[in-house]
């Protein structure tokens, strides 16, 4: 998936394995245009990171093994793709 994103002009700055690491990266980087996130990182829900990215106007796509009903109600507007992800669906959701 990384290769496909790079061919569409993405600069990859992850993966990050914890909510804390992702939060730190978001807080220290003003140049994030888009983010592909798993809902659950080692037992921690990613919602605080989504909130930080939203405050910066970053386009977000969730990828998860859960179904879309697992997404908390306040985040239902975030595109959610089930794993395994179809590449074209990810590209469409992230790049429009």
Main-chain phi, psi angles of 72, to 5 degrees: -55, 145
- Could you tell me the pLDDT band of residue 35, with boundaries at 50, 70 and 90? very high
The token pair that represents 82 in the structure block: 């089930």
Whether the CB-CB separation of 13 and 25 falls below 8 Å is answered with yes
- Please name the fold of domain 2-95: Rossmann fold (3.40.50)
Domain locations along the chain: 2-95
Place of tokens 């386009």: 59
**pLDDT beyond 80 at 65:** yes
**pLDDT beyond 80 at 76:** yes
Q: How far apart are CA 60 and CA 46, in angstroms?
A: 12
Q: Mean of the pLDDT values across residues 52-64?
A: 95
- Could you tell me the pLDDT band of residue 58, with boundaries at 50, 70 and 90? very high
Q: Determine the straight-line distance between the first and last CA of the chain, rounded to whole angstroms.
A: 17
């Amino acid at each position: 998936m990384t290769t496909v994103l790079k061919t569409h002009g993405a600069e990859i700055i992850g993966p990050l394995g914890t909510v804390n690491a992702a939060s730190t990266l978001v807080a220290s980087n003003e140049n994030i245009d888009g983010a592909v996130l798993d809902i659950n990182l080692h037992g921690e829900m990613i919602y605080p990171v989504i909130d930080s990215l939203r405050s910066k106007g970053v386009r977000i796509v969730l990828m998860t093994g859960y179904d879309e009903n697992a997404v908390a109600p306040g985040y239902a507007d975030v595109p959610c793709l089930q794993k395994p992800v179809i590449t074209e669906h990810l590209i469409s959701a992230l790049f429009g």
